[in-house]
Amino acid sequence: MRPHRAYSPGLTGVLSLRESHHLLEVLRAKVGDRFTVFDAEREALAEVVDLGPPVRYRILEERRPEREVGVEVVLYPALLKGDKLADVVRMATELGATRIQPLITRHAVPKAMGEGKLKRLQAIAVEAAKQSGRLRVPEVLPPIPLREVPEVAQGLVAHVGARALVREVLNLGKPLALAVGPEGGFAEEEVELLRERGFTPVTLGRRILRAETAALTLLALCTAGEGR
């Protein structure tokens, strides 16, 4: 069986039915096959001991790899049309976000998110964490109105017309909150509200980026782009 990572909170020795299905039906696992299990704090080399379902495993070797950014990174993306938010969740997980809190904003076309879509986004976060080698699966939360964003220790908001560069204001020693607007951007009063909550407007360059591109660019500048 090719190398595989399975999400198993608590490393309890029993996989969820979803993870068991993938091992049994897709990878055709057999007793004695080895794979990796992980949760929010650790990962381990494991061996299949019973096919179930659910699949049961025993831990052979525990590991504690350092793959996280080192501080809390909360991404506040506005709700987007179609399936664009799925791409944001997938790549934000790869880039190190620890929580993804969608926002309902003035210019966003969607004003709500169904339970089915939320569960799908949460499943995408799990799969992206498995693929990227992360231990921590970011929370993907139900959307909230922008006015409910709390005060933050350090926040950056992507805003057309801002002059501050990310590298000029970023402090990698403090928890980080990042806000990115919808296709039409944040309204000026929304940017002002975010300022009051601790967010600094920053530029992402001279070009106008799509909303999903802007979210991932800002996140990458703070995590991958800064050598983290």
pLDDT of residue 228: 41
Query: What does the CA dihedral 180, 186, 189, 191 come to, rounded to 10 degrees?
Result: 30
pLDDT digits (tens, 9 = 90+) for 101-136: 999 999 888 888 999 999 999 999 998 988 888 888
227 within domain boundaries: no
211 within domain boundaries: yes
pLDDT digits (tens, 9 = 90+) for 188-211: 999 999 999 999 999 998 888 899
| Percent of the chain residues topping a pLDDT of 70 | 97
Q: With cut-offs at 50, 70 and 90, classify the pLDDT of residue 225.
A: low
CATH number, domain containing residue 199 = 3.40.1280.10
pLDDT digits (tens, 9 = 90+) for 15-40: 988 888 888 888 888 998 999 988 87
27 & 50 share domain: yes
Q: For residue 14, give its domain range.
A: 5-63
Domain count, the chain: 2
Q: With cut-offs at 50, 70 and 90, classify the pLDDT of residue 157.
A: very high
Distances (CA, A) of 43 to 22, 65, 128, 136, 146: 19, 8, 16, 10, 36
pLDDT of residue 226: 53
pLDDT digits (tens, 9 = 90+) for 35-65: 998 887 788 899 999 998 899 999 998 887 7
Q: With cut-offs at 50, 70 and 90, classify the pLDDT of residue 82.
A: confident
Q: What is the pTM of this model?
A: 0.80
pLDDT of residue 131: 85
Could you tell me if residue 173 is left (phi over 0), alpha (psi between -120 and 50 degrees) or otherwise beta? alpha
What radius of gyration, in Å, describes the C-alpha atoms of the chain?
Answer: 19
27 within domain boundaries: yes
106 & 209 share domain: yes
75-95 mean pLDDT? 94
228 within domain boundaries: no
Task: List, in order, residues 6 or more apart from 146 with CB less than 8 Å away.
Answer: 103, 104, 105, 106, 186, 190, 193, 194
154 within domain boundaries: yes
